[in-house]
Chain A
């Protein structure tokens, strides 16, 4: 049937076109088919990247289209690397990435380990735990902003109930010391289920017979955990850390919705600084240089990490 259809199509193809197609090799045909995708990728990924690299060496400002664009060499890069505020933003980002990853990995793995016990109703609890991850960050950011409200927020009242501190004194988003933690709490609440899911996949992939052999050798539960569970789940944990690390390095939505980078610049992570330079101050060249520096940093760190991950997997 298929052959007959193919023959019909071949017969219906006009002779000049057929002659052209006959001359194309398999490799050529493959290129012909994937070329639209490649063109699309070039247009929306590669070209903007190279364009941003070009702009990073100029004084171009998107709100001054008529102004002469000057080549500044590495001046933008020099200014960024010598800018105290940029380094503060990078430190804020590092603080945020470190604590969110640490908390999400610890809690996520613990939850996965508990869920893996396959107790009664574990499927229900798994679904329930996954709910925050399924919500939109915009929704999460907005409702946590209300929860943190010192006058009407449930969070402040809950803390007040436990600590007896008046709720109006619990100003999570306005207090310089508490604001960074308010974001870490929300990110951990939202994304721990994701880490749990990956860890759970790792735990479920460990063959049962290894534990049976350990039982025969009379290895304690503690010994089984350190010698079997953790080493065999480690590549999965590392993968979760990689995904969350990349995601949190460029975190924007949650910070923007909860604190907008404030109070002052206390929670101004690198992506917020970048947005302010690019779309509020309209320093397009400068912000392109900053974006390239961030890209190289994330790309470089991720590569080093992937190499480490591969080594762990090969063990």
Chain B
């Protein structure tokens, strides 16, 4: 009996001691939460320098895009302690700020002399500020991103295709600068035989489940004159969301979907777009800039075969692009806020940001992107810069989720399922969004 007791006591002590030791060893480990994608892998690599410098270990919780919002918004709403740092989507900023999920960073920025003037203005508004256009900062711009286009440079440069295109449309086949040109190029390539294979015009966003079709349609609508609200009267949407120009923009997006996308592309988003381009199915490909480093390196479609262009202009010459990307925030439920702030201070450093860009992340620091060597640093760098200068973003209100679901439904019903007209879809959207803001007591 005595020996059994001794054994039990010994085992318990050993387990307790080992747990304690491991707790001490990892007491300062930080967990960073983000989406599972290429830039996240680059961040893992980059963060090794932080561990070397500070001795603070880094753990990562990466979730695929399809579950990213569900998983981490649940985590934040339940006041979970899993994430010390989070790279949250730009649209979360309103809800995260108002519900107290993120630590406000103004005092920290002042203390550490981190100035938001050092970052690309659009990313500060998009990723850090709430309310928008006020100096209240909840995140440090971490990963710049924007919707742009890639095209098959090798196909575009085929002499026989150039000749045929010029005869048909009267201008030289090349990256389109207006949406009308984009549709002409897409029509030209649709169901064309190239190198013994049937190819299609363009891959565009049509995904229904999360945010895909909204990101794609908005990317076009902005340049057609769509506005979320009356600039002089917030939340007044009638005549802005459903203006004649917006209707034309949505009709264009549907026409592009109907004429020029690959068969069965009715639920396509970032991954499906990359697959369509990589497999040589499409001549042009709408996607966020984060996909470009991977495509550039691709053996089959990368290198000299790929080109990049900024979102084209609308009929009145307006030109905008849908903002993507995220800022990095400290989670207010974390017990390791001091260490998390140390990470943000380190991440804001110019050298770290330069390395971030070289590894495949998109820095938002002016010192990096305005460096004279930057445009030549990668084949897509100039397109990225030009695109970031014309960005617009979706609502970032605390109610962004129902606002997004409403646009997903209205756009998909019209564009993909062909139900009703563009006017019906946008009128319906005004009705849905009005209901959301009324529920919030904002109207």
Residues in A with CB closer than 8 Å to B208 are: 260-264
A100 beta carbon closer than 8 Å to chain B: no
B residues 401-434 with Cβ under 8 Å of A? 401-402, 404-405, 409, 412-414, 416-419
- Pick from A65, A169, A171, A279: contact of B266, CB below 8 A: A171
Q: Digit string of B71-88 for contact with A (CB within 8 Å is 1, else 0)?
A: 001000101000000000
Q: A151-B264, A276-B405, A280-B401 are in contact. Are A264 and B99 (CB under 8 A)?
A: no
In the docked arrangement, what's the CA distance between A264 and B209, Å? Answer: 10
* Residue among B209, B262, B265, B402 making CB contact with A281, cutoff 8 Å: B402
A140 on interface, CB distance cutoff 8 Å: no
**A291 is an interface residue with CB less than 8 A from chain B:** no
| Residue with the greatest number of chain B CB neighbours at <10 A, chosen from A173, A262, A266 | A262
Q: Report the separation of the CA atoms of residues A19 and B405 in the bound assembly, to the nearest whole angstrom.
A: 64
A272–B198 Cα distance when bound, in Å, is 36
For A62, the closest partner residue in chain B by CB is: B77
**Best-buried of B70, B95, B100, B413 by chain A (most CB within 10 Å):** B413
> Are the C-beta atoms of B263 and A64 separated by less than 8 Å?
no
Task: Tell me whether A66 is interfacial, beta carbon within 8 Å.
Answer: yes
Residues of B contacting A281 in the complex (Cβ-Cβ under 8 angstroms): 401-402, 405
The interface centre, meaning the residue of B262, B409, B414 with most chain A CB atoms within 10 A of its CB, is B409
Contact A64 B267 (CB under 8 A): no
Complex alpha-carbon distance, A261 and B266, angstroms: 12
Contacts of A221 in B (CB 8 A): none
A276 to B209: give the CA distance in the assembly, Å. Answer: 9
CA distance A9 to B262 in the complex (A): 76
Could you tell me if A263 and B412 are in contact, using CB atoms closer than 8 angstroms?
yes
Do A151 and B262 touch across chains, with their CB atoms under 8 A apart? yes
Docked Cα-Cα span, A235 to B59, in Å, equals 59
Q: Quick one: which of B264, B267, B404 contacts A260, CB cutoff 8 A? A: B267
Interface residue ranges of B236-276 to A (CB < 8 Å):
262-267
The residue that B70 contacts in the complex, of A176, A265, A279, A283, with Cβ under 8 A, is: A279
Which residues of A are found within 8 Å of B439, using beta-carbon distances?
59
Given A281-B401, A281-B405, A283-B402, answer yes or no on A264-B416 (Cβ-Cβ < 8 Å). yes
From known contacts A63-B77, A65-B77, A264-B417, infer whether A173 and B264 are also in contact, taking CB-CB under 8 Å: yes
Please count how many residues in chain A sit with their CB below 8 Å of the partner chain's CB atoms.
30
Is B57 at the interface (CB under 8 A from chain A)? no
Q: What is the 8 Å Cβ interface bit string for chain A, positions 186-208, against chain B (1 contact, 0 not)?
A: 00000000000000000000000
Partner of A150, one of B77, B99, B264: B264
Report chain B residues within 8 Å CB of A169: 263
Confirm or deny: B315 has a beta carbon within 8 angstroms of a beta carbon on chain A.
no
Residues of B within 8 A of A150 (CB): 263-264
A174: Cβ under 8 A from any B Cβ: yes
Minimal beta-carbon separation of A111 from chain B (angstroms): 32
Complex contacts, B419 vs chain A, CB 8 Å: 176, 264-265
Contact A174 B264 (CB under 8 A): yes
Could you tell me which residues of chain A, from 156 to 193, have a CB within 8 Å of some CB in chain B?
168-169, 171, 173-174, 176
Given the interface pairs A63-B77, A281-B402, the reply to whether A263 lies near B417 with Cβ below 8 Å is yes
For B176-209 the 0/1 string (1 means CB < 8 A from A) is 0000000000000000000000100000000011
Q: Is A282 an interface residue (CB 8 A)?
A: yes
In angstroms, Cα B412 to Cα A171, docked, is 16
Q: Name which residue of chain A comes closest to B411, CB basis.
A: A264
A150→B261 CA distance, assembly (Å): 13
User: How many B residues are at the interface, by size bracket?
Assistant: 20 to 34
Q: Which residues of B contact A63 (CB under 8 A)?
A: 73, 77, 95, 99, 401
Tell me the chain A residues, 42-79 only, with Cβ under 8 Å from chain B: 59, 62-66
A262 touches B73 (CB 8 A): no
Kindly provide the distance from the CB of B437 to the nearest chain A CB, expressed in whole angstroms. 14
Q: Are A280 and B405 in touch, CB under 8 angstroms?
A: yes
Q: How far is the CB of A273 from chain B (nearest CB, A)?
A: 10
B402 with A282: CB separation less than 8 A = yes
Do A262 and B267 have beta carbons less than 8 Å apart?
yes
Whether the Cβ atoms of A263 and B416 lie closer than 8 Å is yes
Hey, which chain B residues are within 8 Å of A66, CB to CB?
99-100
Contact A176–B401 (Cβ < 8 Å): no
Find the A residue at minimum CB distance from B191. A168
Contacts of B209 in A (CB 8 A): 260-261
CA gap between A168 and B73 in the complex, in Å = 39
Give B406 Cβ to nearest chain A Cβ, in Å. Answer: 8
Inter-chain contact B99/A64, CB cutoff 8 Å: yes
A64 x B398 contact (CB < 8 A): yes
Q: Which of A85, A176, A276, A282 contacts B417 (CB 8 A)?
A: A176
Q: Is the CB of A262 within 8 A of B418?
A: no
Taken together as a complex, chains A and B put the C-alpha atoms of A273 and B264 apart, in Å, by 23
Task: For the complex, give the distance between the alpha carbons of A174 and B267 in Å.
Answer: 8
Q: Are A265 and B77 in contact (CB under 8 A)?
A: no
- Indicate which residue in B99, B402, B413 contacts A65 across the interface (CB closer than 8 Å): B99
A172 closest partner in B (C-beta): B264
Interchain nearest-CB distance for B163 vs A (Å): 28
Near B by CB (< 8 A), chain A positions 118-151 give: 149-151
Collect the chain B residues with CB atoms within 8 Å of residue A65's CB: 77, 79, 99
Question: With contacts A176-B417, A280-B401 known, is A264 near B264, CB below 8 A?
Answer: no
A184 to chain B, nearest CB (A): 18
B contact residues around A283 at 8 Å (CB): 402
Nearest CB of chain B from residue A213's CB, rounded to whole Å:
58
Interface centre among A169, A260, A263 (most CB of B within 10 A): A263
A265: B residues at CB distance < 8 A: 409, 412-413, 417, 419
Q: Complex: how many Å from CA A276 to CA B70? A: 11
Q: How far, in whole Å, are A265 and B77 apart by their CA atoms in the complex?
A: 29
- Closest chain B CB from A282 CB (angstroms): 5
B420 smallest CB distance to A (angstroms)? 9
**Which residues of chain A in 241-284 are interfacial with respect to chain B, using CB atoms and an 8 Å cutoff?**
259-266, 276, 279-283
| B residues less than 8 Å from A85 (CB atoms) | 409
Are A266 and B266 in contact, with the CB atoms below 8 A?
A: no
Residue in B263, B265, B404, B413 whose beta carbon sits within 8 Å of that of A264 in the complex = B413
Q: Which residues on the B side are within 8 Å of A59 (C-beta)?
A: 439
Having A63-B99, A174-B264, one finds 11 other A-B pairs with CB under 8 Å, namely A64-B398, A149-B264, A151-B264, A261-B208, A261-B209, A262-B208, A263-B267, A264-B419, A265-B417, A281-B401, A282-B402
Q: Write 8 A-B pairs (CB below 8 A) sorted by A numbering.
A: A66-B99, A169-B263, A173-B267, A174-B265, A259-B267, A260-B267, A263-B267, A264-B419
Residues of B within 8 A of A (CB): 70, 73, 77, 79, 95, 99-100, 198, 208-209, 262-267, 398, 401-402, 404-405, 409, 412-414, 416-419, 439
Which 7 residue pairs spanning A and B have beta carbons closest together? A264-B417, A174-B266, A264-B413, A281-B402, A168-B263, A150-B263, A150-B264
